[in-house]
Amino acid sequence: MSESAIGFLTSLLGAARVSTSAADLAYFSTDIAGEATLAPVMVVRPGGLDDVGRVVKLLTDLNIAIVPRGGGFSAHGGYQAEVPNAILDLSDLNRIVDINEADRFVTVEAGCTWAALNAALLPLGLRTPFFGPLTGQASTIGGAASSNAWFFGSGAHGTMADNVIGLDVVLADGSLVQTGAAAAEGRAPFLRHFGPDLTGMFLGDCGAFGLKVRVTLPLIARPAAEGYVSFAFERFEDIADAHAMLAREDVVAEQWGFDPEGNEALARAGFKFLEGVTFAHDPSPEYVARLKERQVVGHRTTLRGGFSLHVVVEGTSEREVETKLGRVRRLMIPIAIKELPNAIPQKTRENALRTLAPLLSPAGENQIPVQGFFPLSQASAIAAVTDEYFIRHHAEIAKHNIRITTVTGTVGNAFVLEPSLLWTDRWHALHQRHAPSAGKAPPANTAARDVVMRLRRDLIGLWGAYGASYVQVGRTYPYTSQLSSAARAFADAIKRALDPRGLMNPGALQLGLGPAPKTSRKFVEFPQNLLEER
């Protein structure tokens, strides 16, 4: 698009803030997942709800694609399209529209952060059931609805998608659609259900069906009491089994675990709760012999141990909390090495929705996660298979100084496995405007990044063979290519009806990319009876 055309378009956008600076275009079109193959022509920051519909209609009428961005955590990740695209930064839509204490719901604009909402609800003794991801200081509620986030409260209340009552969505033609009870004229958004569940269609769509501009969530009373407990486990399979056992008991607000690498990072950050705890495991000669026979490089992490599990419980009284903690201990003590001091879950809850650098991203390193959800019955099996996969690629991982740290957890009745791959790369420079003290960015490390991305893609494929489901699908995880023919036809029909020219976040959910034949990948080195080969 020519400069004169961009200038004319900018003049038409009126109150919306528009940037065409090279620095902004580079920053907003790039993240640690990769660089846009087609740079955006502009970044547009609508100032209000009415601006969004007007901007979307103007841009799509001109055949310019819309790529949404909120707090900046959603991966742009190699966006490709044959039409110009504009990035919509919705972070200025950050108002809390209505806190309805009587009817127990809150409506916010999509750019409102979880931290801001929590601060507004705290004096009222209220909160939402799911109340944000670990990145809640900066991540937005609209982004969580778009990607289907999880963490705080997810053990008891599920993901973001399980907790939304209604949405206001801007479609490709600029029209505004309300879902839930508010879809009917004159009704308050107090209930998700009014006929078919139109709300669910837009949750987890990553903007492929429309832009979420307002979100309504239920409200609950803040718990009168909280309790915290932590345990040490020797093997990856042990902590996976522990997660599944606790999920079936339905007593935890959230639970998560760290692998040895994660525990070491916490220790370096000043958490000394692991001092004096023996994790070392001397493997039997028979098992070592079997490893050598299978030509596995290195030792599985289950041989070195050092896994920590952290649990938060909530209750209406201290007595209820103690009862729940007692149930947790009765389950965990027989299979854990020992109970640990509860500093990690307590500090995490006390600092909920604040930036916790020791738990999130070591300074100066890029960190990109890969996340899978599995049936509880598959927890220990998928833990072992994932561990084995990384060991088989140990030499290449070590060659490029890639580190891997894994977080485990549960969301309702699903086991969550989230390895993060860490390496040093030039993408860190793009965030220096927010962290100027980070120093000079390193040169590009494309070889390491290529290995990281390949490991990530292959792991997603491997997990698919074990029936994984995903959140934060976007362009990273397969969606339509994994659907049955009938389900894919249904998803394609929705996309065509709402976005006939395919201009809303093109490529998200693999929609609008033409036929994508199913691929069947066989991982012959991972027998189904892997766990029996200890």
Domains and CATH numbers, the chain: 3-89 (3.30.43.10), 96-221 (3.30.465.10), 225-464 (3.40.462.40), 480-510 (no CATH)
Tokens 């108002």 belong to 95
Question: What are the start-end ranges of the H helices in 335-445?
Answer: 343-350, 357-360, 379-392, 394-399
235-291 confidence digits (pLDDT tens): 899 999 999 999 999 999 999 999 988 887 777 666 665 554 544 444 455 544 544
At 30, list the tokens. Answer: 């790039």
For position 8, what pLDDT does the model report?
Answer: 63
Q: Whole-angstrom Cα distance, residue 480 to residue 466?
A: 18
**For residue 326, what are the contacts with CB-CB under 8 A and spacing of at least 6?**
none
How much is the pTM? 0.85
| E strand or H helix that includes residue 293 | helix 285-293
Q: Which of 478, 470, 465 is nearest to 508 (CA)?
A: 478
Among 120, 62, 51, CA closest to 90: 51
Mode of pairing for the β-strands spanning 176-178 and 414-423: unpaired
Q: CB burial class (10 A; 0-12, 13-18, 19+) of residue 492?
A: middle
pLDDT tens-digit map of 114-128: 999 999 999 999 999
Q: Provide CB contacts within 8 A for 253, sequence distance 6+.
A: 153, 155, 156, 223, 226, 312, 313, 314
At residue 319, the pLDDT reads: 97
pLDDT at position 443 is 59
Report the distance separating Cα 149 and Cα 409, nearest Å.
13
- Residue 386 structure tokens: 């994932």
- Residue 433's pLDDT is 47
- 246-251: list long-range contacts, CB under 8 Å, 24+ apart: 246/155, 246/311, 246/328, 246/331, 246/332, 246/410, 247/155, 247/376, 247/410, 247/412, 247/413, 247/414, 247/415, 248/376, 248/413, 249/327, 249/328, 249/331, 250/156, 251/313, 251/324, 251/327, 251/328
Q: How many CB atoms lie within 10 A of CB 354?
A: 12
Structure tokens at 515: 């036929």
Residues of the chain short of pLDDT 70, as ranges, are: 1-9, 12, 14-16, 30-38, 70-82, 136, 268-305, 354-364, 426-445, 513-534
